[in-house]
Amino acid sequence: MIATFWTSTVISELTGHQAAITAVKNGIVWGMLVLIPSMVIAGGSGMSLGQRRGDQGVVAKKKRMPIIALNGLIVLLPSAVFLASKANAGSFDSVFYAVQTLELIAGATNLTLMGLNIRDGLRLTGRIASPSAGVAQSSASIVLRKNGPAIISGVEDFIDADGAALATQATMTLCRCGASKNKPYCDGSHTRVGYLDGKSPERTIDELSRYRGREINILYNRLLCSKAYECGRRLEAVFDTTRDPWIDPDKGSVAEILDVIRACPSGALGYEQNGEGLRHEVPSGTAIEAEASGPYRVRNVALANAVWCEGACENKYALCRCGASKNKPFCDGSHVAEGFTDGEGSA
């Protein structure tokens, strides 16, 4: 609607017909009666849904919304009423055109900010690609076949469950059902066992928890955790599961905490510092590692056709390969309870 207001204003001004300009100005004022409540509802619901989220895209959207609202209430609405009044009086003087110029600039600003919000919204839902800060983009990719294997392309390093480097090929097909007799590669067993890759309604709640410290905040999404226990193994003073809350950022140094977040294979851990939004630490290089009797640990490989969880890191994640995760395609630690192993056997 704002785009319509802006475009119709420019067109009517270019034609120079005062009757057309007056009609547009009156239409904009009446349109405001619909636009303002709609924006309040949309903005309020968006802020409510994103209040616990610390993703960079969400933080940026939150910062833009007050600017859009203030610009609309302080500049656009008064300008629309003033210009309609002047147009109806036939007073197309220098003041009219000065305010008209201000309105066009304010309108263009809001259109730009709203366009950025739409872009970030599409990135958050996975409908368009989202570049991650500080990590070089590569051509490596993973495409997930429906109820089937993962198709891997362009990966530099592929490490098996024994820690040995495997020869990489231009394209590789990896098992996700857990039943292949040729792990980590797919042998078609997903068809035999009736593997389904949908998310379970019984999965852990998708929620980003924030643990505040004096120098750094630690963010954690339990749903993303692959139960690798790198955090407690490396820095138990900060990550102690026998304590409530189990994460205390003030029990360790910032450098120690960043090392642990970098070592977290699933991207379940992130951090906030210096007033910035959620960030992750990601090692360099494109690689896939088949964790012993666990998930695929992936870094810097673009994952297609996936719905990301709150606070997820798109350049570091763990993909289920036991077939039992309730949060497919991502690992949720179910391989531990399922007793998944790298040997032969069915899922």
Q: Got the DSSP string for 189-253? A: HHHHHT---PPPTTSPP--EEEE--SS-EEEEEGGG-----HHHHH-TTTB-TTSSSSB-GGGS-
pLDDT of residue 73: 86
Q: What is the pLDDT of residue 331?
A: 97
Residue 129 lies in a domain: no
The one-letter amino acid code at 331 reads C
- Same-domain status, 111 and 143: no
Is 346's pLDDT higher than 70? no
208 lies in the same domain as 336: yes
Question: What pLDDT digit, counting tens, does each position of 296-323 carry?
Answer: 999 999 998 888 999 999 999 999 999 9
CB 179 within 8 A of CB 168: no
Domain final residue pick, 77, 104, 124: 124
Last residue of a domain, one of 124, 159, 186: 124
- Whether the per-residue pLDDT at 249 is higher than 70: the answer is yes
- Token couple for 144: 């997930």
Is residue 282 pLDDT above 80, yes or no? Answer: yes
Tokens 């993973």 correspond to 142
Structural domain tally of the chain? 2
CB 86 within 8 A of CB 33: no
Q: Higher-confidence residue: 188 or 58?
A: 188
288 HSE (CA, 13 A, CB side)? 29
Q: 152 and 116 in one domain?
A: no
Same domain, 279 and 160: yes
Q: What pLDDT, in 10s, does the model give residues 105-144? A: 988 898 898 888 787 766 555 455 454 444 445 688 999 9
**Do 329 and 183 sit in the same domain of this protein?**
yes
> DSSP class of residue 279?
B
Who wins on pLDDT, 92 or 214? 214
Q: In the chain, which ranges are continuous DSSP H helix?
A: 2-15, 18-49, 56-70, 77-88, 94-124, 189-193, 230-234, 254-263, 334-338
**pLDDT for res 134:** 40
Same domain, 230 and 82: no
Q: Is residue 140 part of a domain?
A: yes
> Please, what is the Cα angle at 187 between 185 and 191, to 5 degrees?
125
Give the per-residue pLDDT at 2: 65
Claim to verify: residue 166 and residue 208 sit in the same structural domain = yes
User: What percent of the chain is predicted at pLDDT more than 90?
Assistant: 53
pLDDT score for 1: 63
- CA Rg value for the chain: 26
Please report the pLDDT score of residue 266 as a whole number. 97
Picking from 23-27, 49-53, 188-192, 232-236, which range would have the lowest pLDDT averaged per residue? 49-53
Give a yes or no: residue 103 inside a domain.
Answer: yes
Question: If we measure between CA atoms, which residue out of 15, 70, 17, 80 comes closest to residue 39?
Answer: 70
Residue 150 belongs to some domain of the structure: yes
Q: Is residue 273 part of a domain?
A: yes
Does residue 75 sit within a domain? yes
The residue from 124, 145, 164 where one domain ends is 124
Which of 238, 242, 195, 218 shows the shortest CA–CA distance to 311? Answer: 218
Residue 55: pLDDT over 60: no
Q: In this structure, are 92 and 194 located in the same domain?
A: no
Region 166-184: mean pLDDT is: 93
Are 114 and 3 contacting, i.e. CB atoms less than 8 angstroms apart? no
113 with 89, same domain: the answer is yes
Residues 152 and 43 in one domain: no
Q: What is the model's pLDDT at position 9?
A: 74
pLDDT at position 46 over 70? no
Residue 345 banded pLDDT, cuts 50, 70, 90: low
Average pLDDT, the chain: 86
Q: What is the mean pLDDT of residues 18-35?
A: 82
Residue 130, domain member (yes or no): no
Residues 99 and 143 in one domain: no
Please give the model's pTM, rounded to 2 decimal places: 0.65
Lowest-pLDDT range, 22-31, 149-158, 196-205, 212-221? 22-31
Specify if 274 maps to a domain.
Answer: yes
Dihedral sign, CA of 208, 213, 217, 222? negative
Q: Please state the rounded mean pLDDT for residues 135-164.
A: 86
pLDDT at 47: 56
Assess whether 241 and 94 both reside in one domain.
no
Predicted local confidence at residue 322, as pLDDT: 96
Region 228-239 average pLDDT: 96
What does the pLDDT read at residue 136? 44
Structural domain of residue 44, as residue ranges? Answer: 2-124
